[in-house]
Amino acid sequence: MKVVIFGLGYVGFTAACCIASQGHQVIGIDVSRSKVEAINKGEAPIVEPQVSDMLQDGLAKGLIEARTQIGDALEEADLGIVCVGTPSAADGSHNMGYVADVSRQIAQALQQAPRSGRPLSVAYRSTFRPGTVEELVWPIFTSSLQETASSQVSVVYNPEFLREGSAVQDYFEPPKIVIGTRNGEPDPAMLALNEDIKAPVFTVGYREAEITKFVDNTWHAVKVAFANEVGRTCLSLGISARQVHEIFVSDTKLNISPYYTRPGGAFGGSCLPKDVRALQHIGADVGANLHLVDSLLRSNEAHKHRLFEYAMAGLEPGAKVLMVGLAFKAGTDDLRESPNVDLARKLLGAGIALDIFDPAVNADMLVGANLGYTYSQLPQINQLLVDQSTAESKGYARVLVNNATIDMLDIPEPALIRDLGSIT
């Protein structure tokens, strides 16, 4: 293939070397004349294992060329890859000037030399907020190319996952490949580019692809901050943080797994809230300042309220609603700090005519702390619980599903169901 890369910074230059090493012809475009001249001389603009040798090999084979202007680079090109910077503005937003500018240049080049065959695939690897392709990039192309835009260019969003120090290995052995397209269908040029790379491939819409890098990097930041908060707590208590970490990461069933990272209901139950509060207290007591841990319960309360808003949307006061699942987990009667109890209380406060189906919960059998918590939060629980026959036949304006208890019911109108336990 003939591949044109816009922006020869860390990501763009690494991609250029890797793609050329696969036998593809690569033309790199960058506004820096000194950088372009250095690359054409075989001098890598970054310090990264393997790239210097790959650059010199690519130049020797005539597969790598750097330029400051697009010129005729797009003629007969199969793929364009945009890797220009999106630096932070003062308010934390991205400066989109470089993305907008290079998009205009590509559009103008296509306007001056229209394609007669398949549209040019232009893959953006620059990190930018969800909606940018639809609200900034594509309007730039349609402004220049007007009604011919769809026949001239196919926009793709393709986030990169390169780490400094292992960028070449990460290029050829990525944790995943994410391809965002207009209709969520595969792009032929991207399929050809990645055909020799073995990794899970996710072909999705633009916005799902655009948010991927933010989710990944924020999660990495959360992990680092969490580990350091645990570390300084251990330091203050004379505990071996190394051994605690060794124990923690050995658990791949729960701790290092996708189990608790699926968007859905708020956390609750007898353990998580209690133990988070306890670690907050320990951290405060030893002066560890656990800002991340301190935010967890506030974030959880915010999530509970958002789910309440989602449950209520479009309902009038007095509407008949069935809640499926009251306990924290299906098949149990543990109601202690169950977010579902909080939701039931809020729905009643909003004037909803609420019924609850949860056959594992028998109000007369509750004991101890479970009994005390339930009646302090939901004293009318006896009047709210209904049997399976009532749940299936009464007729409700909406059915709110909190957990797998729904598997016990046959709801005649699935369209009425709003699943609060799984955000899709």
pLDDT, one tens digit per residue, over 327-371 is 988 998 989 899 999 999 999 999 999 999 999 999 999 888 889
Shared domain for 6 and 123, answered yes or no, is yes
How large is the average pLDDT for residues 45-68?
A: 97
Q: For residue 308, name the pLDDT band (cuts at 50, 70, 90).
A: very high
Angstrom distance (rounded) from CA 140 to CA 149? 10
Shared domain for 158 and 9, answered yes or no, is yes
Count CB atoms within 10 A of the CB of residue 263: 8
Shared domain for 245 and 293, answered yes or no, is yes
| Model confidence pLDDT, tens digit, residues 180-203 | 999 999 999 999 999 999 999 999
Is residue 184 a part of any domain in this protein?
A: yes
Mean pLDDT, the chain, rounded, equals 94
DSSP structural state of residue 130: T
Shared domain for 175 and 235, answered yes or no, is no
Write phi, then psi, for 136 (nearest 5 degrees): -125, -55
DSSP string, 276-322: HHHHHHHHHHHT---HHHHHHHHHHHHHHHHHHHHHHTTPPTT-EEE
DSSP structural state of residue 28: E
Classify each residue of 171-194 as buried b or exposed e, where b means 16 or more C-beta atoms within 10 Å of its C-beta: beebeebbbbbeeeeebebbeebe
Is residue 395 a part of any domain in this protein?
A: yes
Asked whether the predicted pLDDT for residue 147 surpasses 90, the reply is yes
Confirm if 47 and 13 have CB atoms less than 8 A apart: no
Its domain, for residue 131, covers 2-209
Shared domain for 234 and 263, answered yes or no, is yes
Structure tokens at 285: 């007591």
Is residue 335 a part of any domain in this protein?
A: yes
Computed from CA positions of residues 186, 188, 189, 195, in that sequence, does the dihedral angle turn out positive or negative?
A: positive
Is residue 424 a part of any domain in this protein?
A: no
Is residue 78 a part of any domain in this protein?
A: yes
Closest CA relative to residue 261, chosen from 293, 230, 291, 216? 216
Angstrom distance (rounded) from CA 253 to CA 266? 20
Of 146, 178, 209, which marks where a domain is finished? 209
Is residue 282 a part of any domain in this protein?
A: yes
| Model confidence pLDDT, tens digit, residues 84-142 | 999 887 787 888 999 999 999 999 999 999 988 899 999 999 998 999 999 999 999 99
Shared domain for 148 and 256, answered yes or no, is no
Give the Å distances, CA to CA, from 188 to 26, 192, 404.
18, 6, 40
Give the Å distances, CA to CA, from 136 to 82, 232, 419.
14, 44, 34
Report the number of distinct structural domains present in the chain.
3
Reduced to 3 states (helix: H, G, I; strand: E, B; else coil), residue 36 is: helix
Asked whether the predicted pLDDT for residue 408 surpasses 90, the reply is yes
Shared domain for 268 and 367, answered yes or no, is no
Shared domain for 269 and 341, answered yes or no, is no
Is residue 141 a part of any domain in this protein?
A: yes
Angstrom distance (rounded) from CA 79 to CA 137? 16
Angstrom distance (rounded) from CA 28 to CA 13? 8
Shared domain for 7 and 128, answered yes or no, is yes
How large is the average pLDDT for residues 311-319?
A: 95
Shared domain for 325 and 273, answered yes or no, is no
DSSP structural state of residue 135: I
Write phi, then psi, for 275 (nearest 5 degrees): -75, -30
Write out the H or E segment, with its range, that includes residue 398: strand 398-401
Report the CATH number that the domain containing residue 32 is assigned in CATH.
3.40.50.720
Of 237, 270, 297, which marks where a domain is finished? 297
DSSP structural state of residue 176: -
Confirm if 210 and 180 have CB atoms less than 8 A apart: yes
Q: Which residue type is seen at 189?
A: A
Of 209, 243, 270, which marks where a domain is finished? 209
Q: Which residues are catalytic?
A: 271
Place of tokens 């999705």: 204
| Model confidence pLDDT, tens digit, residues 253-305 | 999 998 888 888 999 987 889 889 989 999 999 999 899 999 999 999 999 99
Shared domain for 109 and 83, answered yes or no, is yes
Computed from CA positions of residues 138, 144, 150, 156, in that sequence, does the dihedral angle turn out positive or negative?
A: negative
Shared domain for 268 and 351, answered yes or no, is no
Is residue 10 a part of any domain in this protein?
A: yes
- pLDDT for 370 equals 86
Q: Rounding to the nearest 10 degrees, give the CA dihedral for residues 199, 205, 211, 212.
A: -10
